[in-house]
Every structure is written in C-alpha cells, then in structure tokens.
Amino acid sequence: MKKLSLLLLVLMLSLFVSAQIVEQTYHFENPVVTEIQSYNQVQFENCMQTAVTGNPTLPYKSVSLLLPFGSEAESVEVILSDFEEINVKSQLYPYQASLPYSKPERKSFAKNEDVYSSKNVYPSKCHGELSTHYLNGHAFAFTSFSPVQYEPSSGKVRYAKTATVRIELASAKKDNSSMIWNTPYINSKVASLADNPEMIESYKTRGRNIAAYDMLIITGDEYVEGFAEYCEYYNSIGVRNRIATLNDIYASSEGIDNQEKIRNYIIKEYSDNGIIMVLLGGDVNIVPYRGLYCHVQSSSVYEDNGIPADLYFSALDGTWNDNGNNRWGEIGEDDLLPEIGIARMSFNNATKQANIINKTLKYQREPVLGEFRDVTLAGEWLYDNPETWGSDYMELLIGEHNDNGYTTIGIPEDYNFTRHYAEDGTWGPTQLKNTINNGTQYVHHVGHANTNTVAEWYNSDITDANFSGANGIDHNYTFFHSHGCVCGSFDDDCIMERMITIQNFAVAAIGNSRYGWFNEGQTEGPAPHLHREMTDAQYHERIPFLGMHLSESKCQTAPFVNAPGQWEEGALRWNFYDINILGDVAIRPWLDEPFDANIEYDAQLFIGCQSTEIVVKDENGNPQKGFYCSYVFDDERIGFAITDENGVAEVNFEGGLAATGDMKLYITGLNAFPVVLDVTAVPNNSAYVVYEEYTVNDANGIIEYNESSSFDVVLKNIGSVNASNVTATLTCDKTNYINITSPNYNVGNVSANSDITLEDAFAFTVCDSVPNNSNVRFFVSCTDGTDIWESKFNVNIFAPEFEIMKPNGLELNPGDSETVEFTIINKGGSSASNINFSILLPEEISMNQSQFNIPSLDAGEETDIEVTLTVSENAALGYAYEMPFTVSSGRYSVNGSYAIIVGNVTEDFESGDFSKFNWEFDGNPNWEIATGEAYEGQYCAKSGAIGDQTSTTLKITIDVKAQSEFSFYKKVSSESGYDFLKFYIDGQEKDKWSGEDNWSEESFILTEGLRTLEWTYSKDVYAEDGQDCAWVDNIKFPPTAVIVDVETVEEKDITIYPNPAKDFVKVSTSDGQHATVKIYNTLGMLVGTRLATSATNEIEINVSEYNPGIYFINISNEEYNVTKKIVVE
C-alpha cells in the first residue's frame, strides 16, 4: 500500500509539472542603427549581434529562465507583438565568422545572396534552440530570440516592442536534488543568472545551507607535504579545506578512466559537503586532463577532440559523453553551468610546487602597498581588413558597458592605467616587461600567441632575472590574462606554466589551452566576452576567489553559447572550453589597496539564538558587499552568510545555536585582510564570568624580555545571573617564555552583566631570550565551585631584534684602503643595551678598529659605524676575503659576512689548452685552442667546425662570492642573422652576435652564488658565410675562491655538544688528525685554546667561568679551518 501511494504521488507530481508553463515578458525600445563597412546594424540594449555566417546580423536576446524544482524545458513559444518600423539606409550587415588569434588568415567576405534577395521575412523562426541546464541543482531553460524582422529584398525592418516567452515543462528525467545547496553564495549565483529570480523560492526548502568545507585539493601522494603550509593558511582565514590523493581517489571511485574517477569523487564531495572550489595540484603527468570536443565553422573548419578543459571537473551534471563515442562535450552532452570554481597548479616537481605556493601565500600575506590601483592593458594588432586592434577589446574592461548585448561593470575608471597599444606606438614586449617590473596589479593582454610565446615573449624570456622587479618584495607578483592562442596549453610545456612556476612574475595566469577567438572589425568575440564577464565578477559582483571569478564568467556567458537557429558556429563554445586558470583557485586578488575591515558583531551569543547580524565596513565607513562570514565551533561550521550591498550579513543558526563556549568568526572579502574574531556562546538564565581586558603594570604597558611584572585583569559576567565566590586561575601556552608566579586570584562576587577589575592579580617573569614579537596565549579559568567558565586572550612579548645593513662589496687591489659604513638597526619592539659589534679579519685585511660598543638602541632606532679597511701588499689576486661579523646584546645576536674582492682571475688560454680551469664541452666537434688569432697573446678559444643545424658549447661553472663584473672578448665570422655566437648565464640567453664582428669586449654582472657560463656557436639549416665560427679570449672571472681566517663549513664531521652549554662543552672530530681548538668572544678576543690529538679525537672545555653569551669555537689543522657558534648559559 505504501509503494502504491508513493507511485501515485510521483504520477501526480509528473502530471502537475507537465502541465506547467513558465512565462516571461520582455520589452524593447530605443533601437540604435549603426554603420559597419557600408552596412547597417540594428542594436538593442542587452541583445547580442549574431547570425549564421553570411546571413543578416540581428540582435538576439538571450533567455535564461529558472524552472520549478523537478522540471525541465520541453518546448518554447515566443510571441512577438506591438511592432514598430525602423528606418535603415543600407542592408543589414552579413555576419562574419570568428577567427582564431593565431591564424587570422585572409578570407573572402561572407554574404548569402539567396537570403539577401529573398522576399520572405527573416528569420523564418524568431527563436533558437531550447535546452535545459542545471546550476547547483537548479534547472534553467536556455534559448534566445530576436525581436527584429527583416525583409531583405525591400530593406524593411521592424521590431516587436513586446515579446512573451512561454516554456512548457516536463518532469525532469533525472533527480538532481542531491546537487541542491541553498548557501548564500549559490542563491546569489542562481538569482543573478535567472531572468525570473523569484522562482528560487521553489528550491529553498529542498537544499542544505551550511557547507562542511570549502576547498578540495587533489594531488599526488608525493606532493601532499608540500601543501601543508598552504592548507594551514587557508584554514586560518576560514577557507576550510581537505586534501585527497590520487591513489585514494582511484581506489575508491568508479569510472571508465582516471579522469572520470576524479570527477565522480568531486561530485561526491560537492553533494556530501558543499565544496565550492577544487584545486588540481599538478601538471597533466600528475593530475590528468579531460580533452573536450569542439567543431568551429570559420573561414575553414576547425576541429579538436582533445581540448584541455578543467571545466570537466567543475561542471558536474551529466557525463559529457552520453553516446559513448568519446567526443566529450558535444552539443547536448555538455554542461555549461559550472557548480564550483576550478584551477590547476601546473607543476611537475617539488621546486615548482614550492614556487607557486610561496607566491600564492606571500602575495596574500605581504602585499606591496601602493600598486593595486595600477592596471596594465596590452593590445596588439590583430587584423587589417577590416582593421582590428586589441585595444578595442581592452577598453571594454573599464567601467560600465552594455555593448554587444550584455552589461558588465569592470575596472573603475579612476584607476591608473598603463596602456601598451600597437596603434599608439606604445606596444612592445620590453615596455610590457618594464611595466610589470615597476609594479602592476593585473595584466590584461590581447594578441597573437602560441605554446611557447605570448606578448612577443618566448619561453626563454620568462626568467627570474627578466622579471626581477616582480619579486613580491620590491613589487607585487601579478596576474596575467591573455586572449592569445595555445599559450595556456598545460598539456604541453607552455609559456604560461613558466610564468607561474618561476620564483618571480605571475602568481596566476588565465589563458587558452587551444585557440582564442575574435571577430574582426568588431568589439565582440568569444575571448573578449569571457574576459569582460570575468572582470565583472571581480569588480562588480565582488566575488573574493579567483577560481570562482572564472566560474561566474562562464555561468553568465552560458546563455550565449548556443547560437540562434539550428546551427552553432562553435567559436564561443571552443573558447568556453579552453580557457583555464593556472595557479591557485582560492587566491584573493588585491583589486584595490588592502584595508582592515571594521566589523560590527556580537562577541557573546546566547545559546538557542536563531540568528545574528554582522556588519562589515571599510576604514571610511562604507558598507562592503560580498564578505563571507562563517562561525566555526569545535572544527565544525555552524553558521554562514554573505554581506549584502549594505554590508549586512544575517547568519542563521539552524535549529538555534547549540554550541557552548568559545567559537570563531571568520570574515573574508575582497581587498580586505582576513579577520578572525572570538565569539562566546553563553547559556541563558545563568552566570558566565569571562576575561574582558588586561593592563600590564609597568612604565610602557607592554611585556618585554627579562622583566618581572603583573597584570590588572577585568572580568565580566556576561550571564544573566549573579556569580558568587568566584576564583580565577591564569595559565599560558608558552611556559618557556613566561613563568606565572602568582596564578590564582580570589575574585568574589560578580553581578550579572557587569565587570570587576582585579588589580595586580597575576604576577609573572619573562625569560631573557624570548624572540621578539612572540605571541603568548593566556587562559583564564573562572569557577564558582559548580560551573567552570573558560576564556583566553593573546599578548605579544617584545625583545630586541637586530639587522645589519652592510655596505656594497668592495673591489680593491693590494695596498688599497677604503672607508665603508655598516648600519645596525634594532627592528625589535624593545630597547637593547650594551651592544657589541665585532668583525673577524683575515691576515691580509686590516682595519682601524674591529670592535665597537653601542650603549643602547631603542626599538626602531639605528646607528652607523664607519670602518677603514686596508688590503695587504701581500694579498693574493683573484680572491674574495670574507669577514664574519656579529652584533650581540645579552642573549640576542645576529651574524653576517662581508667580502672584499682583491683583483680578478683571467683565462687567456696562454697555457695552450683548457687545463687552467674546469672547462666543459657540448657538441661535436668541441671548441678548440686556436693559434695566432687571439685578441692578446698567442692563444684563444675557437668554436669547432660544426655542420648545419648543430651547435657546439664551451661552458664553466663558478662560485661567485660577491656580486661583481665579468667580461670577455669575442669575435664572430658567420652568416649574418642566421648563425650565432650566443652567451648564456644559468641557461638564460644574455646576448648573441652574428655576421662579421671583430674583437670587442662584452661585460655582464654576475650575482652571488653558483653560476654557469656558456658560449654556444649554432648554425641554421641553410647557407654559411665568412669563416663560420666564433672566438673567445681574455675571460676575466670574478673571484671564485674564499680565503678567510674563520670559515664555517658543514661537511666536516665535527660535533660540538651540548649547545647551549652551562659547565662543559665537548668538541670531537672523527678524521683521526690533530686539531687546534680556539674560543673567541664576540669582540674577537681569544679566551681559550686546547689541542685535540689523534689519540682522543675529543676534548672537554670548561666554560663555567665564561660570562653568559655567544662565543665562536674555531677548529683548524692543515686541511680545514672550521668555526661554529656556541651559547654559554
């Protein structure tokens, strides 16, 4: 009987739905007639110009109607009425096919003369195809129609001022209820897409409204550890996340291949937990991609069955391959409404992973202020007949525009724009690079591209050296968004992957894995459409997270993908599929200068309350829209809301607030630093005594190292009942820094909703080595003997923290003297006294004074110390003499090293071979020694006699101890412009020469560290000219060895323990040789000497009589000289 009743219910629901009709009326007025290439176009606001290629272009209105729960669209009827004539002077413009940016080939002008000579009303059917799509379980009917009717032969044009769209419904073939979430974000997304947002009410009782977590990270097992800091950061700001490894996914999910298993796992996590973002952690060799199918009829047919599209993992309805022919994403098998945001960190090793994550975190934690209203627009030449410039598309990203049938509100017009436009003569790859290095918020680019090139850069140009300014310190990392073709083809080693995986430059890149498409001579096109909508999602919708910007862009573009009529050109679908984000999905772009949000909220909530209100404003009191507000108790999210245009978020607690005690309120939004607040849930009709505020009882009101003080503490009874016989106990989490000497206090009685001040309540002492700005959490436990009330507060402890600004490196000759200046800065939060600064000198360097005493430095204060250095006449040429230095005050110190370069080292090849240095060779034949052709002397190096399409390389790796100049002489005789001598530093081409180029000097700056220098002579496939070779001579290297009296090296097997030490310290060696052990204080004074013999290999040194502080132990013999630091307590 129960089964029968259920069956009848389903049948009744089916009959009810099938009889339903959704109806929407649209109105049109104020048509605008424009001219394009001697033709006319009729335009209406929010109508897109389109047609079959060669047919008259008409304005089409996209229809996006939200359908009742449990239904889908079955048929559509469009009723046009209230017609009015439009005066046009020319024929309507024939629609021209979209072109890919990288192949704007010459094509004939398309015009269907049969249609233009017809006496029939065009179009024969005013509406396009009807389809049903689902967005987070909400059914949408998509179609389009034109209010314009055209008689081509007579030239008459009329339009309907009123159009009524009637969609007949049928019962949905699939139950999508598991996909319905009624979170504030999803409700807002659904409402913004619907022409009839009121229909959302039919879904609100059917979905869940609090997601368990926000972001799923999918990666290989070997990369999980590399995401630890990333996950911790996002959890700390309220973006709750989990990691799933591919091995676990493949083992637990069903699917015909790994891609489907990954997608099915994502669907489950979305359905069960309400995730809003997925990060794919790895290149395609780690996380495989799904290749989608698309067909475009342009000037020729374009077809691809493997478009890399991470959309497959974010649009979660259907299978994308219903007919099983492996053409994933065919029309009718697609899902154009992504439920979640998606992005891919496209790395293939741990170093690249670390680079991406470091940029992601540093960009958000430590923004470089003053650059976030500076936007860069780069537009290249695109096409010449009709003339088409990228700048026309770029300008539509600024301000409000209703061009081309849709409205977007983009970058504020009062921002600072740097425009690199081809038609203005300001375009160029070098100019764009310089702008990025000088700091810019975002780079928007339109131009031709390929896998290894974009913006006229090539893979070899994307280096840390070329983008050294965009290092996250001097200037911000930036975002790079391009319309160009294939530059985002992450299935290959594309140029956008290089942008995000080097240490500098782009924190994320948005681009196409295959062709980008445009419409010549117009300001509309597939790539510009998606770009405009993404910019609107950022600046107008104020969505915080990058991955959701692109998701919103695709949702708003989806109604335009299916073209009117029976036929789809396909270019917008292609671009819709192939645009992806390379970078982090959850990063929050700074789209204005960061600010600290002002939050109005209740710090205490009564148990059982149904809702609470949060108000978010900026520092000027302006309400802030789109801020995510979530309450978390005991690691579970219990309430969530998003602020509206008034800055108000109404958080509802389903079933009433059930938590007791402390919980967190996380607030995250566009352009604001994340906020984390403590909120206490207290019982109604009871007492509840908690911490309110504190005061430190000393002169400056802060806690500092090596001091004894006490707290005045204010307690408050936030309950509604008086508390009697209360006692309070104070503890902390950093007992190694703070010793609470008086932890208990007898409070007494505290009236309801009132506070009490406890004077000198809790005494404490602070250790003398606590790091500056250490955060200590204190816990206050109050009790009346029956109930216990816990609360907490955080306090920062301040101490000295030294920084030494050393002078630039010196290059001196034997006998030279130079005065230099060291700057000592106390960047800590507390003053320091009796500060010692000392420099340890090698025998070849002398100084007028090497030990200094500074009586005191206040917090933030600095002092300069001048010293005069003199190089001995006996100093060896070609070395960097390193001088360790230290600044110390009590237990606080900082060490560093300063180098003086004496002379240089020259490879002049006068040995007659390559034996003087450790040269390496690549190629066949190798470089050789030439006689009688040198720049100076008898010998030089000459490239081998190679054949066409080959190269030969001479290279060497050196250890540069201080930044210095490097130079060499070169000569070339080759086919000009084709066969080159190229010079590389660390694999990056620095310069190249061809033709007849006689001996000349070239110089470069080498930075500190290991550097590989290469000279490569290479030939192309064609002709040869001249002597077909290159020569190199008189290479002047910077110093590559270090001579010091005190050298710290780790590879020697020397053990010093214990460290720190109080009584004795033991020094042991394991090489079985004698060694002399000397102990120096920080002033460089020798305070002790011992001998380690081969018999013992260990000595014990009594340090009990030494004053507490820092000392240096130097262990040396004929083979090594090692210095290590110890601390005596």
**CA–CA separation, 582 and 309 (whole Å):** 12
Q: Given this model, what pLDDT does residue 843 score? A: 85
Q: Given this model, what pLDDT does residue 1041 score? A: 43
User: Averaged over 1098-1114, what is the pLDDT?
Assistant: 76
Could you list the beta-strand ranges (E) of 99-155.
Answer: 99-100, 131-135, 138-145, 148-151
pLDDT at 383 over 80: no
Lowest-confidence pick of 372-386, 968-982, 1102-1116: 1102-1116
Q: In which band, very low, low, confident or very high, does the pLDDT at 568 lie, cut at 50, 70 and 90?
A: low
Q: Given this model, what pLDDT does residue 918 score? A: 80
Q: In which band, very low, low, confident or very high, does the pLDDT at 18 lie, cut at 50, 70 and 90?
A: very low
Q: What is the pLDDT of residues 667-693, one digit of tens each?
A: 999 999 999 999 999 988 899 999 999
pLDDT at 237 over 70: yes
User: Averaged over 393-411, what is the pLDDT?
Assistant: 92
Name the residue type at position 731: T
User: Averaged over 861-886, what is the pLDDT?
Assistant: 88
Across all residues in the chain, what is the average pLDDT? Answer: 89
Sorted by where each begins, the domain ranges of the chain are 18-179, 350-582, 598-681, 689-798, 802-902, 905-1038, 1054-1128
What are the tokens at 160? 């309907």
Name the residue type at position 1004: F
Q: Given this model, what pLDDT does residue 319 score? A: 97
Q: What is the pLDDT of residues 304-331, one digit of tens each?
A: 999 999 999 999 999 999 999 999 999 9
**CA–CA separation, 538 and 546 (whole Å):** 8
pLDDT at 1093 over 90: no
What are the tokens at 1007? 């930075």
Could you tell me which of 233, 321, 313 has the C-alpha nearest to residue 275?
313
How many other C-beta atoms can be found within 10 angstroms of the C-beta atom of residue 528?
A: 26
| CATH code for the part of the protein at 18-179 | 2.60.40.3800
CATH architecture of 350-582: 3-Layer(aba) Sandwich (3.40)
Beta partners for residue 745, in sequence order: 728
Q: In which band, very low, low, confident or very high, does the pLDDT at 925 lie, cut at 50, 70 and 90?
A: very high
Q: Given this model, what pLDDT does residue 684 score? A: 85
Domains 689-798 and 905-1038 share a fold: no
Q: In which band, very low, low, confident or very high, does the pLDDT at 384 lie, cut at 50, 70 and 90?
A: confident
Percent of the chain with pLDDT over 70: 93
Lowest-confidence pick of 642-656, 712-726, 894-908: 894-908
Lowest-confidence pick of 33-47, 55-69, 763-777, 1063-1077: 1063-1077
User: Averaged over 98-112, what is the pLDDT?
Assistant: 73
pLDDT at 548 over 90: yes
| CATH code for the part of the protein at 598-681 | 2.60.40.10
Q: Given this model, what pLDDT does residue 13 score? A: 37
Contact 851/1084 with Cβ under 8 angstroms?
A: yes
Name the residue type at position 509: A
Q: What is the pLDDT of residues 853-870, one digit of tens each?
A: 999 999 999 999 999 999
Q: Given this model, what pLDDT does residue 9 score? A: 34
Q: Which residues contact 866 (CB under 8 A, 6 or more apart)?
A: 819, 820, 821
Name the residue type at position 1090: R
- Report the Cα 1020 to chain-centroid distance in Å: 40
Q: What is the pLDDT of residues 1014-1045, one digit of tens each?
A: 999 988 766 678 899 999 999 988 765 433 33
Lowest-confidence pick of 207-221, 265-279, 472-486, 565-579: 565-579
CATH architecture of 689-798: Sandwich (2.60)
How many other C-beta atoms can be found within 10 angstroms of the C-beta atom of residue 411?
A: 21
Q: Which CATH superfamily is domain 905-1038 in?
A: Galactose-binding domain-like (2.60.120.260)
pLDDT at 466 over 60: yes
User: Averaged over 110-116, what is the pLDDT?
Assistant: 94
Please state the pTM of the whole predicted model.
0.73
Q: Which residues contact 490 (CB under 8 A, 6 or more apart)?
A: 283, 284, 289, 308, 344, 346, 496, 497, 513, 580, 582
User: Averaged over 1072-1080, what is the pLDDT?
Assistant: 72
Dmax (CA) of the chain: 114
Percent of the chain with pLDDT over 90: 68
pLDDT at 1072 over 70: no
Contact 527/111 with Cβ under 8 angstroms?
A: no
Tell me which fold the domain 802-902 belongs to. Answer: Immunoglobulin-like (2.60.40)
Lowest-confidence pick of 1-15, 65-79, 173-187: 1-15
Element spanning 715, H or E: strand 708-717
pLDDT at 12 over 60: no
> Which long-range contacts does 845-854 make (Cβ < 8 Å, 24+ apart)?
845/869, 845/870, 845/871, 845/872, 845/875, 845/881, 845/883, 845/900, 846/870, 846/872, 850/1084, 851/1083, 851/1084, 854/824
pLDDT at 959 over 90: no
**CA–CA separation, 186 and 210 (whole Å):** 11
Q: What is the pLDDT of residues 477-503, one digit of tens each?
A: 999 999 999 999 999 889 999 999 999
User: Averaged over 51-79, what is the pLDDT?
Assistant: 94
Beta partners for residue 779, in sequence order: 731, 792
User: Averaged over 991-998, what is the pLDDT?
Assistant: 89
What are the tokens at 583? 């970078």
CATH of the structural domain 1054-1128, one choice from 2.40.420.20, 1.10.3720.10, 3.40.50.720, 2.60.40.3080:
2.60.40.3080
What are the tokens at 332? 């009718």
